Amino acid sequence: MFLVTKIKAPVLTLSFRLGDQLQAVTILNRTMSSRSSNPGSVVAPYTPPEWARKLQYVPSYKLDLSMHHTPVHKWNIPSISGGFRLSIKRDDINGGPLSGNKVRKLEFLLADAIYRGFKHVITAGGVQSNHCRATAIAARQHGLQPHLFLRSHTQNPHMLDCVGNLFLDRIVGSDIYLIPQRDRYERDIKPKMQRLADEIQRKHGERSYLIPIGGSDQVGLFGYITQFQELIEQGVMNRFDDIVVTIGSGGTACGLAIGNYLTGSKLRIHAICVCDSPVYFHQHISDILDQLGLSGVKSEDIINIIDGHKGRGYGISTEEELTFIASVANTTGILLDPVYTGKAARGMVHEFAYNADRFQGNRILFIHTGGIFGLMDGRMEAVMMKEESMGNKVYDSIKISMFNSTE
């Protein structure tokens, strides 16, 4: 794959001998000498957990973009049946604008781009992509120009709105290229990204780092290999039987499954699809296992991919799904998003009720992968206005006597 060449550049070998700190400084200077007005945090050498060292590819560098060791706590969704005890791992609060699972992937992807001297980052996703938003913000913070290919209903820039993730993409000055909804990544989008990179190279003599949809390649994957180590440190192995996560492009679930497999942990990993199919994801994960030199194991052996909860399709919401999100928010204070975690959490609750045997035990950890800005893309409003169903009450204080008594 084009993204991952094993770099054995002289600088790298040399700086290993110079020691970690000096190496970090060298890279910082290199970043600052670009057009960057804000060097952001420092690219530092990455040491993988012991159990991940045998992988054929291990990134050499990592950026610190988010808070780690996010909380794990109980999550009492009222409607849960079957004696399941649910907890939640809060990767939705690992940062502000830079929050969610994509940030963990970007810690490796952008480190790779910065270390290798790229000046532009090109990626793609839906018009409300969390991945694109996180990439754009992190790229800007580190002096790289973000270019986003966004699948959109309209190809007319003047018809484009400015809410949710897209607002953030725009405020940090991304170059946005609208592409049709039906465009497929390998067939249509990747060639366009490559053409843009060639054009930038020709015009400005600067190189562009291409990140696939969702950042789910073998570099980005390390975000969740690292998270698995964090889970171990948080004692999750003994406290839970099953982990449930959303799967959209596969990197998050794949990283967790690899961690679970390599450490010999007894947890079972379940991934709930919000797009594509289990066949597609097993193939994608098997390819990554091959690339990492784990060809003895198949995706089917290390992860359970659950279908049946996509609803009307990727990014499309039903009123029931939005109502579920609102009711979880007004009973537990946890904010799910309409594209990923809302569907996955609703699917999980459904599985508790109708397919309880799928789980090894009843101590379940749901990994919240973020998506807060997608919740504010405008689609929840109609549901919230139905105040009686949502428990959100708005009063006209003039008509309430206790506020108007003269005593």
Ligand X SMILES: *Cc1c(COP(=O)(O)O)cnc(C)c1O
Least separation in angstroms between residue 252's CB and ligand X is 3
When asked if residue 126 is in the footprint of ligand X (CB under 6 A), the reply is no
Q: Choose which of 59, 164, 342, 370 interacts with ligand X (CB under 6 A).
A: 370
Q: Choose which of 60, 101, 135, 141 interacts with ligand X (CB under 6 A).
A: 101
Please indicate whether residue 87 is annotated as part of the active site.
no
When asked if residue 371 is in the footprint of ligand X (CB under 6 A), the reply is yes
Q: Choose which of 31, 70, 123, 249 interacts with ligand X (CB under 6 A).
A: 249
When asked if residue 214 is in the footprint of ligand X (CB under 6 A), the reply is yes
Q: Choose which of 216, 226, 227, 299 interacts with ligand X (CB under 6 A).
A: 216
CB-based contact 133:169 (threshold 8 Å) = yes
Least separation in angstroms between residue 174's CB and ligand X is 17
Of residues 42 and 103, the one with the C-beta less far from ligand X: 103
Of residues 115 and 281, the one with the C-beta less far from ligand X: 281
Contacts of 329 (CB under 8 A, 6+ apart): 335, 336
How many binding residues for ligand X (CB under 6 A)?
21
75 to 83, 84, 334, 362: CA distances (angstroms): 14, 11, 8, 13
Least separation in angstroms between residue 206's CB and ligand X is 28
When asked if residue 340 is in the footprint of ligand X (CB under 6 A), the reply is yes
Which window, 204-212, 231-239, 353-361, 363-371, contacts ligand X (CB under 6 A)? 363-371
At residue 265, φ and ψ (nearest 5 deg) are -65, 155
Q: Choose which of 40, 95, 250, 315 interacts with ligand X (CB under 6 A).
A: 250
Interface characters, 291-330, with ligand X (x: CB under 6 A): ----------------------------------------
- Decide the pairing of beta strands 242-247 and 208-210: unpaired
Of residues 11 and 275, the one with the C-beta less far from ligand X: 275
SS3 assignment, position 281: helix
Of residues 42 and 340, the one with the C-beta less far from ligand X: 340
Q: How far apart are the first and last CA of the chain?
A: 77
Least separation in angstroms between residue 90's CB and ligand X is 12
CA dist 273 and 138 (Å) reads 27
Closest CA to 352 of 263, 265, 272, 255: 272
At residue 179, φ and ψ (nearest 5 deg) are -130, 155
Q: Choose which of 276, 337, 351, 377 interacts with ligand X (CB under 6 A).
A: 337
CA dist 299 and 289 (Å) reads 8
Least separation in angstroms between residue 249's CB and ligand X is 3
Name the DSSP letter for residue 188.
I
Which window, 74-82, 107-115, 236-244, 247-255, contacts ligand X (CB under 6 A)? 247-255
Name the DSSP letter for residue 97.
S
Core vs surface per residue 64-97: b (16+ CB within 10 A) or e:
ebbbeebebeebebeebeeebbbbbbbbbbbbeb
Of residues 60 and 101, the one with the C-beta less far from ligand X: 101
When asked if residue 246 is in the footprint of ligand X (CB under 6 A), the reply is yes
392 to 200, 325, 326, 341: CA distances (angstroms): 50, 13, 10, 22
CB-based contact 59:116 (threshold 8 Å) = no
When asked if residue 252 is in the footprint of ligand X (CB under 6 A), the reply is yes
CA dist 271 and 366 (Å) reads 10
Residue among 15, 60, 99, 129 flagged as catalytic: 129
- Decide the pairing of beta strands 363-368 and 242-247: parallel
Least separation in angstroms between residue 211's CB and ligand X is 12
When asked if residue 248 is in the footprint of ligand X (CB under 6 A), the reply is yes
350: its two tokens: 């459904």
212: its two tokens: 């696939």
When asked if residue 99 is in the footprint of ligand X (CB under 6 A), the reply is no
When asked if residue 100 is in the footprint of ligand X (CB under 6 A), the reply is yes
Of residues 40 and 248, the one with the C-beta less far from ligand X: 248
The secondary structure of 266-306 as a DSSP string is --EEEEEESSS-HHHHHHHHHHHHHHTT-TTS-HHHH-EEE
- Contacting positions for ligand X (CB under 6 A): 100-102, 130-131, 214, 216, 246-253, 337, 340-341, 369-371
Q: So which residues are the catalytic ones?
A: 129
